Structure 1
Amino acid sequence: MNSKTKYICLAHMKMPVKEGILSFLINEYLLQFISAGFVFYIFCVLFLRNLMYFFALSAAYISLQLLSECVHLFFSNRQAFH
């Protein structure tokens, strides 16, 4: 290596420019990948958990509607026979 090679201090290590830029790009892509994974994880945890709550509430509401309809039919049929 000649003395004209420029160095970049990256993570407290002196590297030639090419290796420093390559390492920087790898670190940058790794950081983006990790942040995208973190955002996806947060999205899954928050949205899908809320979605499960929504489906559970919807199922409970539909069950209550069906139960009230069955009770209504039961009592209306019972009154019709008496």
Structure 2
Amino acid sequence: MIRLVLLGRLRDHASASHSELALPDTVQTLSSLHSWLGAHEPALAEALQTVKPRVAVNRSLVRDQTHPIRDGDEVAFLPPMSGG
């Protein structure tokens, strides 16, 4: 089970701003998480493609899509900031 956190306008594309997700054993990297979300949350997956957010795993920014995802992790999608 992971905790998925969605910030900013990404919250509008999912059922909750954060949720506990039980993932299948095939989801072991950020890349496979994106694929799984695409199949189970199409509106969110489309928003992630459009917004291109930064990703934090356990509060550390991660750029490598092969970064492992493990049971108990918190994965946060952080949309670009704007304003002044």
Normalising by structure 1, we get a TM-score of: 0.18
Greater CA radius of gyration, 1 or 2? 1
Greater helix content = 1
